[in-house]
Amino acid sequence: MDAETPVASPPRRPRVVVDEPARVDRVFDAVTFWSGFSVLVLLSIVGLFLLTSSGDSLGQTGLWTFLTRVEWRTDVQPARIGVLGLLVGTVVVAVIAVVLAVPVGVLAALFITDYSSARLRRVLIGLVDLLAAIPSLLFGVWGFVLLSNQMVPVSRWISDHFGWIPFLATEPNRDLTGSMFIAGVVVGIMVLPIITSVAREVFSQAPPGEKEAALALGSTRWGMIRTVVLPYGKGGIVGGTMLALGRALGETIAVALLLPQVPLVSKNILEYGGATVSGFIATHSGGDPFTVSGLMAAGLVLFIITLGTNMMASVVVSRSRSGVGVEL
């Protein structure tokens, strides 16, 4: 900068100006600072506590063993606990949920932004928000009592027709309720509003000028969406998907109701069986300190995974062209 300043006027130093804050402002600064800071401290405490109290079980089991062992038995001496069986279930359920929900959610978002009238749009936005506000418990009981039975023929049909795909096969005469597939469907419906609202948000920000330009060039509506809206909203779709994945990974109550919560690594997602980290924690309350420490460790692993997913979501969204103003 100094190089650009002409020689005639030597660089000047700014004057130091102090504005003594008023007393109210000093109180204001202190109060807001301490509330912000205490939130930070609070979370640090939660994180540290999770770490230290996981220490007991992790120390005894060993981190690597804990991460790679499938079974969870505290009735034997020494206890054999591991998180792999839970993690596999968590990831499988979340992936099924997201795979099912993303196409529907994105299309529904398109319907809201580009196919519905202004009035219908407002109603639909409200309904999607409402769907997001419904507690996961209600989705859980709905899935547990209604969907679970309704889905059995579906599962059977899929396994009959697509059984040649390894993970869709079922053994004859196996119970098809309480499967990871059904849990995935329920969680998928639960995360549907997340994907829909994030995608809607970015689609609605697609530049109207470019949209009109596409239509003016004689493109059909779908052509316009394919060339303008979808490329523009790509970041939002990916970000919304990651966000939904994060939510699906942490979902507790629905999977606690739907899955038997017995840790295992199964490749038959249509069959009875499966466990997820959060569901497993929810169904194993009131244990001894060692169990709780183990559950803490499992919770910590889950927390780290959801944190990573969420952070990736926000990075993806903020890097994309459409994501600048989008709140996750």
Partner 1 sequence: MAGAAGTALCLNWLVFGRLGDGQGWFALLVSTYLTFLACFFIATADRYGRLVATDRTITVVVVSAGGVVLAALASLVIFILVLGLKALRPGFFTSDQTGITPLLPSTEGGGSHAVVGTLEQTALSLVLSLPLSLGAAVFLNESRSRWRRPVRIFVDAMSGLPSIVCGLFIFAVFIQPHAKDAAIFGFNGLMASLSLSLIMIPTITRTVEVVLRLVPDGLREASLALGASRARTVWSVVFPTARTGMTTAIVLGIARCVGETAPLIYTAFGYDLMNANPFNGSQEALPLFVFRNVQKPDQTAIERGFAGALVLMVIVLALFALARYLGRDRTRRAAPSRRWRPRAPRPTQEVRP
Partner 2 sequence: MTTITVDRARSNGTHPSPTPRLVELIGGPPPGAAAIEARGACAWFGDRLVLESVDLLMPAGQVTALIGPSGCGKSTFLRLLNRMHELVPGAALDGEVLLDGEDVYRHGRRAQEVRTRIGMVFQKPNPFPAMSIRDNVLSGLKLAQIKCHDKDGLVEQSLERAGLWKEVRDRLHQPGGALSGGQQQRLCIARSLAVHPNVLLMDEPCSALDPTSTRRIEETIGELRHQVTIVIVTHNMQQAQRVSDHCAFFLAEENEPGRVIEHATTTKMFSTPDDRRTLNYVEGRFG
Binding site for partner 2 (CB under 8 A): 1, 4-6, 9, 12-15, 17-20, 22
Residue closer to partner 2, measured from CB, 12 or 119: 12
Phi, psi values for residue 6, rounded to 5°: -65, 150
How far apart CA 277 and CA 258 sit, in angstroms, is 14
Q: How far is the CB of 22 from partner 1 (least distance, A)?
A: 5
Where b means 16+ CB within 10 Å and e means fewer, 168-201 reads bebeeeeebebbbbbbbbbbbbbbbbbbbbbbbb
Rounded Cα–Cα distance for residues 87 and 276 (Å):
6
Name the residue type at position 133. Answer: A
Candidates 27, 63, 99, 324: give the one binding partner 1 (CB under 8 A). Answer: 27
Choosing from 58, 98, 192, 229, the residue that interacts with partner 1 (CB under 8 A) is 192
Give whichever of 5 and 28 is closer to partner 1, judged by the CB atom.
Answer: 28
Contact assessment for residue 179 and residue 197, using Cβ atoms and an 8 Å cutoff: no
- Convert residues 195-234 into a mask of x (bound to partner 1 by CB under 8 A) and - (unbound): -xxx--x------------------xxxx-x---------
- Quote the distance between the C-alpha of residue 15 and its chain's center: 51
Q: How many residues does the chain have?
A: 328
Contact 51, 300 (CB under 8 A): yes
Query: How far apart, in whole angstroms, are the C-alpha atoms of residue 25 and residue 33?
Result: 12
Nearest approach in angstroms of CB 3 to partner 2 is 11
**46 forms part of the interface with partner 1 (CB under 8 A):** yes
Q: Using CA of residue 101, residue 107, residue 113, residue 117, what is the dihedral sign?
A: negative
Q: Which is nearer to partner 1, 183 or 313 (CB)?
A: 313
208 binds, among partner 2, partner 1, none (CB under 5 to 8 A by kind): none
53 binds, among partner 1, partner 2, none (CB under 5 to 8 A by kind): partner 1
59 binds partner 1 (CB under 8 A): no
Q: Is residue 247 at the binding interface for partner 1, with CB under 8 A as the rule?
A: yes
Please report whether residue 194 would count as binding partner 1 according to CB under 8 A: yes
Q: Which residues pair with 73 in a beta bridge?
A: 80
Amino acid (1-letter code) at residue 209: G
Q: How far is the CB of 2 from partner 2 (least distance, A)?
A: 8
Q: How far is the CB of 191 from partner 2 (least distance, A)?
A: 36
Contact set for partner 1, span 117-146 (CB under 8 A): 124, 126-142, 144-146
Distance of alpha carbon 54 from alpha carbon 302, whole angstroms = 13
Of the pair 5, 21, the CB lying nearest partner 1 is at 21
Select from 6-14, 190-198, 263-271, 315-323 the region that touches partner 1 (CB under 8 A): 190-198
Q: Is 250 in the site for partner 1 (CB under 8 A)?
A: yes
CB of 30 to partner 2, least distance (A): 18
Residue type, 290: F
Rounded to the nearest 10°, the torsion over CA 159, 162, 166, 169 is: 10
Interaction of residue 324 with partner 1, rule CB under 8 A: no
Question: Pick from partner 1, partner 2, none: which does 36 bind, CB < 5 to 8 A by kind?
Answer: partner 1
Nearer to partner 1, 5 or 40 (CB): 40
CB within 8 Å of 224: residues ≥ 6 apart: 211, 214, 215
